[in-house]
Amino acid sequence: MKTIAITGGIGSGKSTVASILAERPGVRVVNADDEAKRLMVEDEALPANLIKRFGADTFLDDGSLNRSRLAEKVFGDPEELLALNALVHPVVRNSLVDSIKVAEKDGIELFVYDVALITEINIADIFDAVVLVDAPLETRIERVMARNNMSQEDVLARVSNQRPPSDLRPLADFVVQNAGELEELRNATDQLFHTILGH
pLDDT tens digits for range 180-199: 899 999 999 999 999 999 87
At 162, the pLDDT band (50, 70, 90 cuts) reads confident
Q: How far is CA 137 from CA 8, 51, 111, in A?
A: 11, 36, 28
pLDDT tens sequence across 118-127 = 888 889 999 9
Total residue length of the chain: 199
- What average pLDDT score do residues 73-92 get? 91
Q: How many CB atoms lie under 10 A from the CB of residue 126?
A: 16
At 166, the pLDDT band (50, 70, 90 cuts) reads confident
Query: Helices marked H in 61-198 — which ranges?
Result: 67-74, 78-105, 118-121, 137-148, 152-160, 165-168, 182-197
Tell me the average pLDDT of the chain: 93
Whether the CB-CB separation of 16 and 147 falls below 8 Å is answered with no
Beta strands 27-31 and 129-134, pairing class: unpaired
Span of 1-10, 44-53, 68-77, 135-144 with lowest mean pLDDT: 68-77
Predicted local confidence at residue 161, as pLDDT:
76
The H or E element containing residue 176 is strand 174-177
Domain 2-197 has CATH 3.40.50.300: yes
Query: Residue type for 56, please?
Result: A
Whether the CB-CB separation of 7 and 18 falls below 8 Å is answered with no
Whether pLDDT at 72 is above 90: no
Which of 2, 15, 3 has the alpha carbon at shortest distance from 176? 15
- What average pLDDT score do residues 52-65 get? 93
Report the predicted TM-score, pTM, of the whole model to 2 decimal places: 0.90
Predicted local confidence at residue 165, as pLDDT:
86
Query: Residue type for 123, please?
Result: I
Burial of 25: CB neighbours in 10 Å, binned 0-12, 13-18, 19+: exposed
Whether pLDDT at 148 is above 90: no
Whether pLDDT at 76 is above 80: no
Please give the share of the chain, as a percent, with pLDDT higher than 90.
76
Whether pLDDT at 86 is above 90: yes
- What average pLDDT score do residues 141-155 get? 89
